[in-house]
Structure 1
Amino acid sequence: GKPFTPETIGMAVAMRDLKQHLRETGESKGYNAGFTPADRSRFLGALDQMARKAIKAAE
Protein backbone atom coordinates (compact mmCIF):
# COMPACT_ATOMS: atom_id res chain seq x y z
CA GLY A 1 0.00 0.00 0.00
CA LYS A 2 0.79 3.63 0.15
CA PRO A 3 1.12 5.91 3.18
CA PHE A 4 -2.11 7.62 4.16
CA THR A 5 -2.32 11.38 4.00
CA PRO A 6 -5.07 13.73 5.14
CA GLU A 7 -6.18 13.82 1.49
CA THR A 8 -6.40 10.02 1.05
CA ILE A 9 -7.47 8.65 4.42
CA GLY A 10 -11.16 9.48 3.95
CA MET A 11 -11.49 7.41 0.79
CA ALA A 12 -9.59 4.50 2.34
CA VAL A 13 -11.87 4.44 5.39
CA ALA A 14 -14.98 4.73 3.20
CA MET A 15 -13.86 1.79 1.03
CA ARG A 16 -13.07 -0.30 4.11
CA ASP A 17 -16.51 0.39 5.55
CA LEU A 18 -18.24 -0.34 2.23
CA LYS A 19 -16.42 -3.65 1.78
CA GLN A 20 -17.23 -4.65 5.36
CA HIS A 21 -20.91 -3.87 4.79
CA LEU A 22 -20.95 -5.91 1.56
CA ARG A 23 -19.36 -8.88 3.34
CA GLU A 24 -21.83 -8.64 6.24
CA THR A 25 -24.83 -8.58 3.88
CA GLY A 26 -23.51 -11.48 1.82
CA GLU A 27 -23.04 -9.42 -1.33
CA SER A 28 -19.31 -10.06 -1.33
CA LYS A 29 -17.46 -12.99 0.12
CA GLY A 30 -13.95 -12.03 -0.93
CA TYR A 31 -11.20 -10.65 1.20
CA ASN A 32 -7.96 -8.96 0.29
CA ALA A 33 -4.96 -11.20 -0.08
CA GLY A 34 -2.65 -11.43 2.90
CA PHE A 35 0.69 -9.67 3.13
CA THR A 36 3.45 -11.30 1.15
CA PRO A 37 7.08 -11.03 2.30
CA ALA A 38 7.57 -8.32 -0.35
CA ASP A 39 4.54 -6.39 0.97
CA ARG A 40 5.91 -6.62 4.50
CA SER A 41 9.30 -5.37 3.36
CA ARG A 42 7.77 -2.37 1.56
CA PHE A 43 5.63 -1.56 4.60
CA LEU A 44 8.57 -1.71 6.98
CA GLY A 45 10.69 0.42 4.65
CA ALA A 46 7.99 3.09 4.43
CA LEU A 47 7.44 2.98 8.20
CA ASP A 48 11.17 3.36 8.84
CA GLN A 49 11.38 6.29 6.41
CA MET A 50 8.45 8.06 8.08
CA ALA A 51 9.89 7.45 11.57
CA ARG A 52 13.29 8.83 10.57
CA LYS A 53 11.63 11.90 9.03
CA ALA A 54 9.62 12.52 12.22
CA ILE A 55 12.70 12.13 14.42
CA LYS A 56 14.70 14.50 12.24
CA ALA A 57 11.89 17.09 12.31
CA ALA A 58 11.74 16.87 16.12
CA GLU A 59 15.46 17.58 16.55
Structure 2
Amino acid sequence: MNDGLGVVVFYILNILGLVILVVGSVLGDLTLLSVCIGLIACAFLIKYEFNIPVVFWKKAE
Protein backbone atom coordinates (compact mmCIF):
# COMPACT_ATOMS: atom_id res chain seq x y z
CA MET A 1 0.00 0.00 0.00
CA ASN A 2 1.22 3.47 -0.82
CA ASP A 3 2.26 5.39 2.31
CA GLY A 4 0.13 8.42 1.44
CA LEU A 5 -2.95 6.31 0.84
CA GLY A 6 -2.31 4.34 4.01
CA VAL A 7 -2.11 7.48 6.13
CA VAL A 8 -5.36 8.80 4.62
CA VAL A 9 -7.17 5.49 5.22
CA PHE A 10 -5.82 5.35 8.78
CA TYR A 11 -7.06 8.83 9.65
CA ILE A 12 -10.43 8.34 7.91
CA LEU A 13 -11.07 5.14 9.87
CA ASN A 14 -10.08 6.81 13.14
CA ILE A 15 -12.23 9.90 12.54
CA LEU A 16 -15.19 7.75 11.48
CA GLY A 17 -14.70 5.59 14.56
CA LEU A 18 -14.64 8.63 16.84
CA VAL A 19 -17.80 10.06 15.24
CA ILE A 20 -19.56 6.73 15.71
CA LEU A 21 -18.28 6.64 19.31
CA VAL A 22 -19.86 10.02 20.04
CA VAL A 23 -23.15 9.10 18.36
CA GLY A 24 -23.24 5.71 20.07
CA SER A 25 -22.54 7.28 23.45
CA VAL A 26 -25.28 9.88 23.03
CA LEU A 27 -27.81 7.29 21.90
CA GLY A 28 -26.62 4.63 24.33
CA ASP A 29 -26.39 2.06 21.54
CA LEU A 30 -24.03 -0.84 22.24
CA THR A 31 -24.02 -1.89 18.58
CA LEU A 32 -22.59 1.45 17.49
CA LEU A 33 -20.02 1.33 20.27
CA SER A 34 -18.85 -2.11 19.14
CA VAL A 35 -18.64 -0.89 15.53
CA CYS A 36 -16.53 2.03 16.76
CA ILE A 37 -14.11 -0.29 18.54
CA GLY A 38 -13.91 -2.46 15.42
CA LEU A 39 -13.12 0.49 13.14
CA ILE A 40 -10.40 1.81 15.40
CA ALA A 41 -8.93 -1.68 15.74
CA CYS A 42 -8.96 -2.09 11.94
CA ALA A 43 -7.19 1.24 11.52
CA PHE A 44 -4.39 0.22 13.86
CA LEU A 45 -4.12 -3.24 12.27
CA ILE A 46 -3.68 -1.60 8.86
CA LYS A 47 -1.10 0.76 10.34
CA TYR A 48 0.99 -2.05 11.82
CA GLU A 49 0.55 -4.48 8.90
CA PHE A 50 1.76 -2.04 6.24
CA ASN A 51 4.24 -0.15 8.49
CA ILE A 52 2.56 3.18 7.84
CA PRO A 53 4.57 6.08 9.29
CA VAL A 54 1.88 7.85 11.33
CA VAL A 55 3.10 10.13 14.10
CA PHE A 56 0.62 11.56 16.60
CA TRP A 57 3.03 14.08 18.08
CA LYS A 58 6.58 15.29 17.50
CA LYS A 59 9.35 14.60 19.95
CA ALA A 60 10.67 17.72 21.63
CA GLU A 61 14.35 18.11 20.97
Q: TM-score w.r.t. structure 1 length?
A: 0.40
Q: TM-score w.r.t. structure 2 length?
A: 0.39
Determine which structure has the larger helix proportion and give its number: 2
Higher relative contact order (CA 8 A, sep 6+): 2
